[in-house]
Amino acid sequence: MKGKLSLFLAMTMGLGLLGGCAPSTPAGEATAEDEKEPITLDWYVNYSWFTTGWGENLVSKTITEETGVSVNFITPMGNETNKLNTLIDSDSLPDIVTIGWWEPQLQEMVSGNMVYPLNVLADEYDPTFYEVTDETVRDWYTLSDGNIYGYPNSTLTPEDLEKYDNIASNVTFLVRKDIYEAIGSPDMSTPEGFHDAIVAAKEMFPEVDGKPMIPIGAHEFNEDGCVSFDQYLQHFLAVPFEKDGRKIDRNTDPEYLRWLKMFRKLCQEGYISDDVFVDQRTQTSEKIAEGRYFCMLYQRTDMADQEKILYEKDPEKIYIAVDGPRNSNGDDPVLPVNGISGWTLTLISKNCKDPERAIQFIDYLMSEHGQKLVYLGVEGETYDMVDGVPVLKPEIRDLLNRDREAYDAKYGADFTYWMLQSLTSQAQWKPESVEPMKQLEEWTYPYVAYTGQYDSSIQEDSNLGRIYSNCRELWGTYLPQLLLADSDEEFDALVDAYVTERDNMGWEILMDEMTRQMNQNKERLHIE
């Protein structure tokens, strides 16, 4: 879900509306009750890690029984970009396509007449589309031609955050519980306290089960930097997105640079492993499952499976969320959630063998009935309604929290099929979380903030797009250099060099456009 920017959202010029339509149970049930001829729809999901099939678990079997639709998922074996480009270049897009909203290929599919306008299909075949989708979200994604070509999952509006108090951020600062407590549960909210805690942890626990303990864990480094050491650290420090009404470069914020210097010092002293700079997610996940990191700036959902493995072995040797880095004022972190843009977009290809069945199927999945099925499963089999509240059966809850892979294979609920998930539906029906993930999730509640007004959309193949791409890659080059600098003086010189190169690339022109879009987004979202 990296914030790569595309033309697609830049084209969404519809006016912000006051409200939206809630999903409708009758719409979904009507579709489900219709007798349908069996059909298999090919669905491309642009994520190599998505490996769940269709037709073996309870949820997918039930959906097929109710709709007649079976799904053949197609996913990349390797590089997602290469696979998607091949499908586009060969005009072989499958029936349904799900990709990130920021992907530049989205504009290519729309301008190349490769996907149907969903509103046109809805008008012709299934107007319940307008009942099961949110009016504000539809308007956000309506292009200048009056059409909406894809509908997002996981969208949230500022009003949603006001309405629900159980929407969590994924961004967490984690420590291994037993190690943290053994060194006295130190205050890690200041650079000095953080540094001392790292040193103490490594001295007391040089090894974990015979392997070297790794003081700090992070997400992988890529061409744009590392979200742990840039975006997440900035969120913990409440680094502003704007100043005096203008978008700014958070990478040059004084508080952020003060903390980055502390990480530089840790690196120089040997407390940041070389592996941190080269490990991919597979290697990091293996080390999390072994409990080898002392602390991590990490997405809680990305380590959930490993956390459950640790919990099964020893509940005292799990990761817990604690207050970590803070700015000099001690301000609370500002932890983002998804904005109105959501995460992915689902589209119907012009190659679709039966666009009528495809739009009906999508509407079914987005209906209240469909959302409840995909999230909770089948009433009486995976959950019961108790006083109007869904309650997971104990054995279902146990399997879900113990072995997600086995749960997906047998039941396939809890948004195993996440492509059209509604976070507000989830908040409405969400059973109480259980450990070990409960503490991680609830720790974020007080710090959740809406930041969707700062999402920007830059046409990839434009001059601004090239400036933006070059500036991202420039930061991706400088971040590891800053962490590996031999002294604070070298660090400062590198920051100066970064700013000079950034400005020479046309940074202020880019900020002009991002500020314009920020103000437009605020107006559309009714944010002061």
Residue 109: predicted pLDDT: 96
Distance spanning both ends of the chain, measured CA to CA: 26
* Nearest alpha-carbon partner for 121 in 95, 93, 154: 95
What are the tens digits of pLDDT across the range 494-508? 999 999 999 999 999
3-state secondary structure of 10: helix
Between the CA of residue 234 and those of 186, 258, 482, what are the distances in Å?
21, 11, 16
**Do residues 242 and 248 lie in contact, with contact meaning Cβ atoms separated by under 8 Å?**
yes
| 129 contacts: CB under 8 Å, gap ≥ 6 | 118, 119, 121, 122, 359, 362, 363
Is the distance from CB of 325 to CB of 189 less than 8 angstroms? yes
Residue 98: closest CA among 489, 399, 419: 419
Q: Is a pLDDT exceeding 60 seen at residue 7?
A: no
Question: Which candidate, 165, 216, 195, places its Cα nearest to that of 446?
Answer: 165
Residue whose C-alpha is closest to residue 95's, from 417, 347, 344: 347
Contact between 341 and 347 under an 8 Å Cβ cutoff? The reply is no
pLDDT at 12 over 90: no
| Residue range 44-71: mean pLDDT, rounded | 97
Q: Which two tokens stand for residue 252?
A: 């040059």
- Give the span between the Cα atoms of 87 and 83, in whole angstroms: 6
Q: What is the pLDDT of residue 401?
A: 84
461 pLDDT higher than 80: no
For 362, the token pair is: 């999508």
Find the angle CA(39)-CA(44)-CA(45) to the nearest 5 degrees. Answer: 130
pLDDT digits (tens, 9 = 90+) for 149-207: 999 999 999 999 999 888 999 999 999 999 999 999 999 999 999 999 999 999 999 99
- Looking at residue 445, the DSSP 8-state letter turns out to be G
Q: How far is CA 373 from its chain centroid?
A: 22
What's residue 27's pLDDT?
43
- Give me the amino acid identity at 273: S
Task: Give the burial class of 430: count Cβ atoms within 10 A of its Cβ; 0-12 exposed, 13-18 middle, 19 or more buried.
Answer: middle
Q: And the tokens for 512?
A: 């002009």
Tokens standing for 189?
């909210």
Largest CA distance in the chain: 73
Domains in the chain (CATH in brackets) are: 7-156+341-372 (3.40.190.10), 170-336+435-528 (3.40.190.10)
Instruction: Give the pLDDT band (50/70/90) at residue 459.
Output: confident
Q: Average the pLDDT over each of 256-265, 373-382, 386-395 and give the range with the smallest value.
A: 386-395
Model pLDDT for residues 407-440, shown as the tens digit of each residue: 999 999 999 999 999 998 888 898 878 899 999 9
Among candidates 223, 226, 362, 364, which has minimal Cα distance to 296? Answer: 226
Mean pLDDT, the chain, rounded, equals 92
In three-state secondary structure terms, 234 is helix
Rounded Cα distance between 215 and 293, Å, is 6
Q: Is the dihedral of CA 337, 340, 341, 342 positive or negative?
A: positive
pLDDT of 111 over the 50 cut = yes
Q: Within 10 A of 49 (CB to CB), how many other CB atoms are there?
A: 10
Torsion of CA 141, 143, 146, 150, to 10 degrees: -50
Structural tokens at position 360: 């009906």
Residue from 510, 188, 164 nearest 337 by CA: 164
What is residue 430's predicted lDDT score, i.e. its pLDDT?
Answer: 84
Q: Report residue 454's pLDDT band, with 50, 70 and 90 as the boundaries.
A: very high
* pLDDT above 50 (res 65): yes
Give the pLDDT mean for 21-50: 69
Q: Omega of the bond prior to 240 within 30 degrees of 0, cis?
A: no
| Residue of 328, 188, 171 lying closest to 253 (CA atoms) | 328
User: Strand 39-45 to strand 335-336: parallel, antiparallel, or no bridges (unpaired)?
Assistant: unpaired
Could you give the dihedral angle defined by the CA atoms of residues 98, 102, 105 and 108, in that order, rounded to the nearest 10 degrees? 110
175-201: burial string, b at 16+ Cβ within 10 Å, e else: bbbbbbeebeebebbbbebbbebbebb
Cα 418–chain centre separation = 12
CB 380 within 8 A of CB 196: no
Q: What pLDDT is stored for residue 416 in this prediction?
A: 97
Which helix (H) or strand (E) segment holds residue 140: the answer is helix 135-140
Residue 2 has pLDDT above 60, yes or no: no
Tell me how far CA of residue 107 lies from CA of 12, 241, 525, in angstroms: 12, 27, 23
Residues 174-190 have pLDDT tens digits of 999 999 999 999 999 99
Distance, in Å, from the CA atom of 496 to the CA atom of 494, rounded to the nearest integer, reads 5
Taking only the tens place, the pLDDT of each residue in 314-358 is: 999 999 999 999 999 999 999 999 999 999 999 999 999 999 999
Flag whether pLDDT at 3 surpasses 50: no
Backbone dihedral angles phi then psi of residue 141, each to the nearest 5 degrees: -100, 5
Structure tokens at 59: 């949820």
Residue 338 sits at the vertex; the CA angle it makes with 333 and 339, to the nearest 5 degrees, is 105
Q: In which band, very low, low, confident or very high, does the pLDDT at 520 lie, cut at 50, 70 and 90?
A: very high
